[in-house]
Structure 1
Amino acid sequence: MSEEKLMRHLYQKLDDLSVQIEKLNLTEYLELLRNPRRLLYVNFLGGVARGFGMAIGFTLLGALVIYILQRLVILRLPFIGDFIADIIRIVQKELATK
């Protein structure tokens, strides 16, 4: 391979590498690491968003479970109805002792 071809090949690889680095937003990430306040702010907002998402998800999931249990009680299935009645008795007993 001639020296000229080698240089063209290296320039092409260097161009490809610079495009890849730009796609990774490496400069923005490095700026974020250099500014601790902004890093804490971004992480705080991310944590709040995740916590809010979990709270909403848990609320919706709990509502769905309660809705399904109510429908099962309406069907008066013997095993499930007794199971739910036992849970209600246990909860009422625990609330009465406190």
Structure 2
Amino acid sequence: MADKSNSHTIETIGKKLDELAIQMERVQIADYIALLNKPRRLFFLNLMTGIARGIGIALGFTIFAATIIYFLQKLGALNLPIIGDYIAEIVKIVQAQLNVDASIR
């Protein structure tokens, strides 16, 4: 009876170890530890990630702002009584700021 209980316990421990090994492989813990042991590589990867994120944010905001300005210009062309004047003023301010920024460069 004790042998049966011990073998069942050993089987359970073996299954748990297999599950743990699979989970560790999924999270790639060995790659993470290797990365932590190479601080220069970690710095380089973080630098590249930061640069890529910054470029992505800049491009995304540029596209978003251009789309908003485009639609505001179209709304301004509709000559809506109060909204049209307000939108036209916003577009003038943005275009003036863009011209100032372009002349500085």
The TM-score, its normalising length taken from structure 2, stands at 0.79
Assess if the C-alpha contact under 8 Å between 2:73 and 2:87 holds in 1: no
The one of 60, 65, 74 equivalent to 2:63 is: 60
Q: 1:76 aligns to what SS in structure 2? A: coil
- Within the alignment, does 1:70 sit opposite 2:77 as a pair? no
Cα offset for 1:85?
Answer: 4.1
Cα offset for 1:26?
Answer: 0.3
Cα offset for 1:86?
Answer: 3.8
The one of 29, 38, 53 equivalent to 1:35 is: 38
Q: Which runs of 5 or more structure 1 residues have no equivalent in the other structure?
A: none
Q: Between the two structures, name the one with larger relative contact order (CA 8 Å, sep ≥ 6).
A: 2
Q: Say if 1:85 and 1:22 are closer, same or farther in 2 by CA, change over 3 A.
A: closer
Cα distance in 2 for partners of 1:85, 1:8 equals 75
Cα offset for 1:80?
Answer: 1.7
RMSD value, Cα = 1.9
The TM-score, its normalising length taken from structure 1, stands at 0.84
Paired-residue identity, %: 42
